[in-house]
């Protein structure tokens, strides 16, 4: 539980003086004009102490306080050096966050965890083929003339894939496109044998950990992943343009699990139980084979020496690329990777703004701090936005604002390794968070570029849209963020939080907390490379830092509405529609098989009735103000709105993936980045389609019953009823 803030004696923390009756507005104005000027000025200055401004007043004030200079200054400070999790540089970045939040008089603490991280000790890769000299690859990302960070670039971690197995492999190369299951199935159908070979795959489409694991399952001895120019270098390269330079490399984790690998399903607190490092590295969530990332230039050099059949058209590169062939060979790759798996200390930073009326209810805002290199986009544009909005919250406090509910600001560590910091904190505080958290609001990379993007659990859709109408489009002063959003290609839907791409995962998928994730832009070419620095952001991502301010405004406004409004601004009618849409997709996949979706359909119909009932309650209250003197009625409704999401979780979790407790949203089985609706049913259908046995189809039916049961539970919670 977050500690209560200490009373510093400031007026911002003292209770407001109870309001006294005032005369009608017209008479008040007439009397004011008859007072001496000094008395009138004193009355105006003290008015906010006599009558507390409405929450909407403070919300509007919050929007007016945005500062691009503040956001830019924080981003510059946070990106002076590469700051990988577990390093001294990242500890210094944590100190900056602690200092910034503490200076605002917010009680702030550091929560450390000891977790398994991995760093490269030795890497080498060379290419050979009959009639060609052996080519050793430098595996270095070049700096550029005038690079202001050239001197500290040597501090960046050498290019590697975290948690890859140590070992040496010399074998023929096979090209596997994006390394998806369907890509390996195509190779098998063409008679291309992957067993014992080194797979070359390009980044994109799926999570890199899935690429390596798919290669291992296909029998490969090692994997190499490169950044294809078609996807990452489609224009001028940085620093002249925003695209990946020829030597740019995307580093990253290949762990498919969540949290500290040595404490699966429980927190890595002091003195806790742990599995051995060897046991942790031997699980199916680990890649299990040596692997390395390489640049587009190196990947193209390998492709030029791979022979065999010509790859399909959609496997080919962009204009000017060589013809891509499948192999195997005659190109031979000699790869060595030696990693150091070590238990290191990471640091979450937690800051608390205590609520006045409902301090035991939490609105949690989170962003991670650790970066593979400088991290200007990922993640410190989000950290800068967090600190900028914290500055605004401090200004609101000086004006007399106190949130109704407690706001907690969280800066996570080791997200890049596998959502480690946030997961350990959620696992350690599971019971408190499950009983007290209203919502979790995540921003990872606040600014990639232009456009607004949002994902959410569906009961927050309406709130997101309403808030976006109050925030200015940072690229057009005549428009709102909503106008920008609705004009984009992504306006038809709000994304869902089933993927494993950021720190919302533990909140949504493990304990069932309503959540959102927002950003300006959605992709950028220098992702996880040496070139994700302040210069890239200043030149291409957000030259005026207005986009940072817009994200902070949206993030903070949603937090303020959730913290300050008497009735939580949730709407479950949208959730019912999402459940129906997911059922439609399942029905299409079940045509002609011995499985009935009737239990699911019935449970969704019941949930729709519960959502309509709550809508009716809210409308009645709004029209007749029937709960004005009945705080227990308000409390009851808010409890139901808050706890309904929890009911979609099941203590046993997904079959074969027990950490994922949410049965409506989880990552796709074959792409950790991809969000899957009804993931348990999807997993079972995929298995049944491969095996086509009566037992496998019974498993599909079982999974349908499971999701029907949690939807029925959610209906009971939302309606407040017992059977």
Tokens standing for residue 244: 């990946």
Question: For residues 219 and 623, what is the distance between their CA atoms, to the nearest angstrom?
Answer: 66
Exposed/middle/buried for residue 293 (C-beta within 10 Å: 0-12, 13-18, 19+): buried
Distances (CA, A) of 405 to 109, 329, 646, 674: 20, 63, 20, 33
Of how many residues is the chain composed?
723
Whether residue 421 is preceded by a cis peptide bond, meaning omega within 30 degrees of 0, is: no
- The residues that bridge with 293 in the sheet, in sequence order, are 225
- Angle among Cα 294, 412, 516 to the nearest 5 degrees reads 95
Whether 578 is catalytic is no
Sole residue written with tokens 């992943």: 225
- The residues that bridge with 136 in the sheet, in sequence order, are 126
Q: What phi-psi label fits residue 248: left (phi over 0), alpha (psi between -120 and 50 degrees) or beta?
A: beta
Question: For residues 273 and 246, what is the distance between their CA atoms, to the nearest angstrom?
Answer: 45
Residues 6+ apart with CB under 8 A from 163: 118, 253, 254, 255, 261, 281, 286, 287, 339, 341, 417
Closest CA to 78 of 316, 373, 288: 373
658 SS3 class: coil
Question: Residue 126 — φ and ψ, nearest 5°?
Answer: -135, 155
Question: For residues 61 and 391, what is the distance between their CA atoms, to the nearest angstrom?
Answer: 13
CB burial readout 515-539, b (16+ within 10 A) else e: bbbbbbbeebbbbbbbbbbbbbbbe
Closest CA to 502 of 552, 440, 563: 440
Distances (CA, A) of 414 to 87, 90, 303, 409, 530: 11, 10, 34, 17, 18
Distances (CA, A) of 132 to 127, 168, 171, 305: 9, 22, 16, 9
Tokens standing for residue 75: 């981003």
Residues 6+ apart with CB under 8 A from 696: 684, 687, 688
Closest CA to 191 of 302, 306, 326: 326
| Alpha helix segments (H runs only) across 244-295 | 277-281
624 SS3 class: helix
- Angle among Cα 599, 601, 605 to the nearest 5 degrees reads 115
CB burial readout 149-167, b (16+ within 10 A) else e: beeebebbeebbbbbbbbe
DSSP element (H, E) containing 406: strand 405-412
DSSP state, residue 585: H
Question: For residues 275 and 264, what is the distance between their CA atoms, to the nearest angstrom?
Answer: 8
Question: For residues 514 and 456, what is the distance between their CA atoms, to the nearest angstrom?
Answer: 8
- DSSP conformation letters of 669-710: TTEEEEEEESHHHHHHHHHHHHH--HHHHHHHHHHHHHHHHH
Neighbours of 652 (CB within 10 A): 10
Among the listed residues 354, 388, 415, 645, the single catalytic one is: 415
8 A C-beta contact, residue 197 and residue 221? yes
Which residue numbers are catalytic? 415
């Amino acid at each position: 539980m977050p500690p209560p803030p200490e009373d510093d004696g400031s007026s911002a923390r003292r209770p407001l003086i109870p309001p006294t009756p005032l005369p009608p507005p017209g008479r008040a104005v007439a009397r004011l004009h008859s007072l001496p000027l000094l008395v009138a000025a004193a009355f105006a200055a003290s008015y906010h102490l006599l009558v507390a401004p409405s929450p909407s007043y403070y919300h509007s004030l919050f929007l007016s306080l945005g500062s691009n200079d503040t956001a830019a200054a924080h981003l510059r400070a946070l990106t002076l050096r590469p700051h990988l999790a577990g390093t001294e540089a990242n500890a210094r970045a944590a100190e900056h966050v602690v200092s910034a939040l503490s200076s605002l008089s917010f009680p702030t603490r550091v929560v450390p965890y000891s977790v398994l991280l991995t760093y490269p000790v030795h890497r080498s890769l060379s290419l050979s083929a009959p009639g060609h000299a052996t080519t050793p690859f430098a595996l270095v990302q070049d700096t550029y003339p005038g690079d202001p960070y050239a001197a500290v670039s040597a501090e960046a971690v050498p290019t590697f894939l975290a948690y890859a197995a140590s070992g040496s492999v010399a074998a023929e190369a096979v090209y596997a496109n994006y390394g998806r299951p369907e890509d390996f199935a195509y190779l098998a159908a063409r008679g291309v044998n992957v067993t014992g070979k080194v797979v070359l795959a390009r980044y994109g489409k799926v999570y890199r950990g899935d690429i390596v694991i798919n290669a291992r399952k296909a029998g490969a001895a090692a994997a190499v992943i490169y950044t294809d120019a078609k996807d990452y270098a489609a224009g001028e390269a940085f620093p002249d343009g925003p695209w990946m330079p020829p030597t740019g490399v995307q580093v990253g984790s290949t762990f498919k699990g969540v949290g500290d690998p040595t404490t699966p399903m429980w927190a890595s607190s002091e003195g806790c139980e742990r599995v051995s490092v060897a046991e942790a590295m031997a699980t199916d969530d680990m890649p299990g084979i040596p692997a390395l990332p390489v640049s587009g230039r190196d990947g193209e050099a390998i492709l030029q020496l791979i022979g065999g059949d010509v790859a399909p058209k959609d496997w080919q590169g962009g204009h000017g690329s060589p013809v891509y062939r499948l192999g195997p060979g005659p190109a031979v790759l000699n790869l060595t990777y030696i990693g150091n798996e070590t238990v290191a200390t990471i640091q979450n930073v937690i800051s608390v703004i205590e609520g006045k009326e409902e301090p035991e209810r939490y609105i949690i805002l989170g962003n991670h701090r650790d970066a593979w290199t400088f991290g200007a986009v990922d993640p410190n544009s989000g950290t800068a936005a967090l600190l900028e909005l914290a500055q605004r919250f401090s200004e609101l406090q000086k004006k007399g604002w106190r949130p109704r509910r407690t706001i907690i600001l969280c800066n996570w560590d080791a997200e890049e390794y596998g959502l480690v910091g946030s997961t350990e904190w959620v696992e350690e505080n599971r019971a408190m968070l499950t009983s007290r958290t209203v919502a979790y609001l995540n921003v990872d990379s606040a600014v990639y570029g232009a456009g607004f993007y949002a994902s959410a659990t569906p009961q927050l859709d309406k709130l997101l849209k309403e808030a976006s109408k109050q925030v200015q489009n940072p690229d057009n002063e005549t428009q709102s963020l909503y106008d920008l959003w609705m004009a984009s290609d992504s306006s038809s839907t709000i994304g869902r939080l089933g993927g494993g791409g950021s720190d919302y995962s533990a909140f949504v998928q493990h304990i069932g907390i309503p959540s959102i994730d927002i950003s300006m832009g959605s992709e950028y070419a220098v992702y996880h490379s040496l070139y994700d620095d302040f210069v890239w952001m200043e030149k291409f991502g957000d030259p005026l830092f207005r986009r940072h301010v817009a994200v902070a405004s949206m993030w903070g406004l949603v937090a303020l509405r959730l913290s300050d409004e008497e009735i939580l601004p949730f709407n479950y009618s949208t959730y019912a529609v999402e459940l129906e849409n997911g059922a439609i997709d399942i029905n299409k996949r079940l045509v002609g098989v011995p499985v009935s979706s009737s239990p699911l359909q019935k449970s969704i119909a019941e949930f729709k009735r519960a959502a309509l009932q709550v809508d009716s309650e809210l409308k009645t209250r709004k029209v007749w103000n029937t709960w004005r003197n009945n705080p227990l009625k308000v409390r009851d409704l808010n409890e139901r709105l808050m706890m309904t999401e929890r009911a979609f979780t099941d203590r046993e979790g997904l079959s074969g993936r027990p950490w994922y407790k949410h049965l409506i949203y989880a990552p796709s089985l074959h792409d950790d980045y991809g969000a899957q609706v009804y993931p348990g049913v999807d997993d079972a259908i995929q298995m049944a389609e491969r095996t086509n046995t009566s037992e496998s189809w019974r498993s599909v039916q079982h999974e349908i019953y499971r999701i029907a049961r949690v939807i029925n539970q959610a209906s009971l919670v939302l309606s407040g009823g017992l059977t």
